[in-house]
Amino acid sequence: MTEIKFCENNFSFGTEETMKKLKENFNNVDVSAESCLGYCGDCSVGPYALVNGEIIQANTAEELFEKIRDMI
């Protein structure tokens, strides 16, 4: 099962909506949010998530969704 983690501090980039879309569209993923993932430098500059422990970054939340979707 694919594990996807989001940082709550990154929600200002629209990643909360990305998280919701992943939960709604994919049953075979474990999607969660944590208060901090420890990637503060990356978190402060744009949307990101951890997919199976690998950091995935994008310019927009929609692009992040598409990148993660393609990995699932």
Assign 69 a pLDDT band (cuts: 50, 70, 90). very high
In the chain, how many domains are there?
Answer: 1
b/e sequence 9-45, b meaning 16+ C-beta within 10 Å? bbbebebeebbebbeeeeeebebebeeebebeeebee
Q: What pLDDT was estimated at residue 7?
A: 98
What is the tens place of the pLDDT at every residue in 8-60? Answer: 999 999 999 999 999 999 999 999 999 999 999 999 999 999 999 999 999 99
Domain holding 23, by residue range, is: 2-71
Check: CB of residue 66 under 8 Å from CB of residue 49.
no
Query: How confident is the model at residue 6, as a pLDDT?
Result: 99
**Tokens in use for 62?**
């929609």
Residue 36's pLDDT is what? 98
Question: What confidence score (pLDDT) does residue 63 get?
Answer: 99
